[in-house]
Structure 1
């Protein structure tokens, strides 16, 4: 399933909703570009909504880590929300759940992070 995404600004945060399979090579560079642009615009918070992501490959994980690194290097933070059971297991296996703060839902992420 082809990767698509949309992003919008909410206050000092960017909400990035990804749909499809995150396998790095297709949409990865564009996703990283979204973060680069956000950093240039002084955005410090990115919430990545994974509700519509079915699968993440190892290069997709690399994309998430690149995005996190870019944000943290500018004093920001990336949060993940709404992972499916499959994606949640992957985050645990790869220990990414220790690196990213993961929220059960986008609303939960917004209420804690944007408060």
Structure 2
């Protein structure tokens, strides 16, 4: 594998982790407690976690040319978008339907293109 690809993978996975650690160090105790509570919330993990992990896996699979990783990441990403649309249902039905529709259309387009 090319050195440039390895560096890109390191930045793809290491960049957000490094930023999160720096952000956490700069927080006061009250903000840290709020973050810990939100990280324990299953909906937060499903929504934000799926989108972030799915995005990173999809592009990692593209970089290393392993389709199963790429397709798994894309699936996780689209599931995270759909769950985000369900979470918006309490605030706005129109926005929720729009986000869920975009997630379904994007998933369909992705799998039609990469099939």
The TM-score, its normalising length taken from structure 1, stands at 0.27
Structure with larger RCO (C-alpha < 8 A, sep 6+): 1
- Which has the larger share of helix? 2
Bigger Rg, structure 1 or 2: 2
Quick check: which one's strand share is greater?
1
Report the TM-score, using the length of structure 2 for normalisation: 0.27
